[in-house]
Amino acid sequence: MSKLGMGIVGCGWVSEEYIKAAQYDGRAEVRALVSRTAGKPETYRERHNLDCTISKDYEEMVQRDDIDIVVVSTPHDLHTGPVVAAAEAGKHVIIEKPVALTMDDVRKQQAAVNKTGVKTIVSFVLTWNPLLMTIDELIRKDAFGNIFMVEVDYMHRIWCGPEKWLGSKKQGGTSILAGGCHAVSAMEWFARSDAVEVCAYTVKTENPNEYAGTTTAVVKFENGAVGRTTSCFDAQMPYVFNIGVYGTEGSVRNDKFFVPKVFPGQNDFMTMPCVLPDSGDVAHHPFRGEVTHFIDCILEDKKPFPNLDDAAKTMAICIAADLSSAEGRPVKTAEV
């Protein structure tokens, strides 16, 4: 079987993890790196012994016959151009989170993808973390019964200031878009329902980022469940990704499980020994799982998860939270 050709647009920190994931899987190879500057891609080409081109033009790259998958890992505000170009050229697309900073841009991407029918996956990469996969499997087996409340927090001290793109409103967006969307995606996934309304508050500390570093949101889901999420870039503490899933027949708090439907003799929490989502280092994140899942879906013609349509619902929660905190009112996701 010939390998799938991969082109990467944007050669920052995260892009190297896609290179390593493609090489580990073995069914895809990186054939093109696109970047505004040559330093990083040249380093990656040499470090990973890549037989690839380096250019500044993604529009030319997506037209190549030897490119099947395009990875878009540019700053957040620059995703839409290459996503649309790749989709229109018939290429499958991996999109770094957040998909975009506005719902208008998300919808432009969806329109291009839906027109051509290419496959997409959005890099809410903790979907392939062993703890989250275990929780998902227990939900599938109805171990928790009726899940009525889910809470997920993303707490990562990020003080970079507006001089670095992640700290600017133009390119970084907001706390919940820049990082907290990981938690929002997991919260929605475990709730097994679409969000209908969001109420949120923000706090601005001494953090030099242009946007408020802390956002807390309460979410009402269509199935009647409630969710709570906090995105915090401000606290002086190690990285934390809190998870709580509460059901009428069992509950989980991070790696502490109480599931008497599965273990009838259980009378206290037990600890699940597995890799936890406890680091903000992208090298710790399971890009291998994401890339392998996406390649499987391409070769077997299956729907990837989370794809662009799934992620659009997550983006709607994040953007509704920002609107709610700005206007001091609950916001329905249908409004954004």
Q: Within 13 Å of residue 317, how many CA atoms lie on the same side as its CB?
A: 34
Q: Domains of the chain: which residue ranges?
A: 4-118, 126-281+314-335
Q: At 99, is the secondary structure helix, strand, or coil? A: coil
**Rg, the chain, Cα only:** 20
CA distance 310 to 101: 16
Which pLDDT belongs to residue 282? 83
Which pLDDT belongs to residue 301? 98
Which pLDDT belongs to residue 96? 98
Which pLDDT belongs to residue 211? 97
Which pLDDT belongs to residue 281? 85
Owner of token pair 């949120």: 200
| Ranges assigned E (strand) in the chain | 4-9, 28-34, 53-55, 69-72, 92-95, 120-122, 147-155, 195-203, 214-221, 226-232, 240-247, 251-253, 256-258, 270-271, 331-332
Which pLDDT belongs to residue 155? 98
CA distance 33 to 8: 5
Residues of the chain with pLDDT under 50: none
DSSP assignment string, 206-228: S--SSS-SEEEEEEEETTS-EEE
One CATH from 1.10.510.10, 3.90.850.10, 3.30.360.10, 3.40.50.460 for 126-281+314-335: 3.30.360.10
Q: Which CATH superfamily is domain 4-118 in?
A: NAD(P)-binding Rossmann-like Domain (3.40.50.720)
Owner of token pair 């998909």: 99
Which pLDDT belongs to residue 1? 59
